[in-house]
Amino acid sequence: MTTTISNAYISAKINHKGAELFSLQSNNDNKEYIWEGNPDFWGKHSPILFPIVGMLKNNSFQINNTTYQLSRHGFARDMNFELINKEVNSVTFSIQSSAETLKIYPFDFELQIHYSLEEKKLNIEYKVINKNQSQLPFSIGAHPAFALNGNFEEYELKFEKEEALIYTLLENDLISNKTQILETKNNLVKLNYKLFENDALIFKKLQSRSLIILKNEIPLIKVHYQSFPHLGIWTKKNSPFLCIEPWYGYSDTNDSAGNIFEKEGIQIIEANEIFNSKFTIEIV
C-alpha cells in the first residue's frame, strides 16, 4: 500500500512497507527528486534505519552475556507500518515491537514516522517510544537517495559553513580509526565517483546543519539535518543517485566489544521516555 500527501507546491508518496518515501515531486513541472530504485544500481529509495545504523561487528550484539543477531541497518525498513493518522498534507506511520522483533532486539518500543509538507519542504520526524521499565539503546537514521540525472560530475555539494570536512573511513564495513579531509572550495565539494571508492563518507561531527545539491551551480535540493549529530554521504560507482543520510549512530568500530549499551554513537532513553528528531528535504 502507498499513501500520497500534497500541497500547492509539492507531493510526496510513501510506501507502507518501511514507511519509505519513494517519490517527491514539484507540482508545477512533475520533476521527480527521489531515486527511482532501479535494482541494477540500488533497489531502495529512502529506507529508515532502526534500531541500528550500519553494521554490527559479526552482525551481533550482547546483553547480559546473551548474543543477538541483527543485520545491517536493522529491521524497520522491512516491516509493514500501520497508518495511524492521515491529513491532506501530513501522515503518520507506526510499528511496535513484536514476538519476532524481540527475538533479535529484546526491547519493547514504538517507532512513529511523521511526514508533513510545508510549502516546498518535506519534514520527516522520528519518534521512538521506550515501552520498557528499563533503558532502551538504539540508533536511527535516514537514507534518502536523490536522483542525479546526467553527468555525475556536473553536481556539487555546498555545506552551510566553511569548515574542515573530516570523514572517517570504513574497513570491512566497520568504523576504522583512519580519517581524511574532504577537499572544498568556498564550502563546495565537486562530486565524482572516486570519492566513494571506499564506500560512504562518514562525518562524526559537522558544524554545518544543512547542505545543498547543485547541478551546474544551480541549487536543486537542500537537506536540513537540524539535530542529527552524524552524517553519511554515499553512492555506488556509476549510479545516478546520491544519498544524504542524517544519523544518530553509525557502524560498530573495529575494536567493538559487542555490548550494545557501550556502542559508540548509541542513543539511550530511559524507561517510558520518548526520543524525537526531525530532518527536512527542501526543493530550492
Q: What would the DSSP string read from start to end of 28-74?
A: TT--B-B----TTT---SS-EEBS-SS--GGGEEEETTEEEE--TTB
What whole-number distance in Å separates Cα of residue 192 and Cα of residue 153? Answer: 5
Task: For 63-113, write each residue's pLDDT tens digit.
Answer: 988 999 999 999 999 999 999 999 999 999 999 999 999 999 999 999 999
pTM for the predicted model, two decimal places = 0.96
Average pLDDT score over residue span 124-140? 97
d(CA 256, CA 278): 29
Report helix, strand or coil for 79: coil
Question: pLDDT band at residue 152, thresholds of 50, 70 and 90?
Answer: very high
Nearest residue to 48 (alpha-carbon basis) of 102, 4, 94: 94
Residue 16 CB-density burial (10 A; 0-12 exposed, 13-18 middle, 19+ buried): middle
Q: Tell me the domains of the chain and their CATH numbers.
A: 2-283 (2.70.98.10)
pLDDT at 36: 97
Q: What is the rounded distance in angstroms from the CA atom of residue 54 to the CA atom of residue 216?
A: 32
Give residue-wise pLDDT tens across range 216-244: 999 999 999 999 999 999 999 999 999 99
Residues 6+ apart with CB under 8 A from 179: 166, 167, 168, 169
Q: Considering the chain, what percentage of its residues have pLDDT values greater than 90?
A: 98
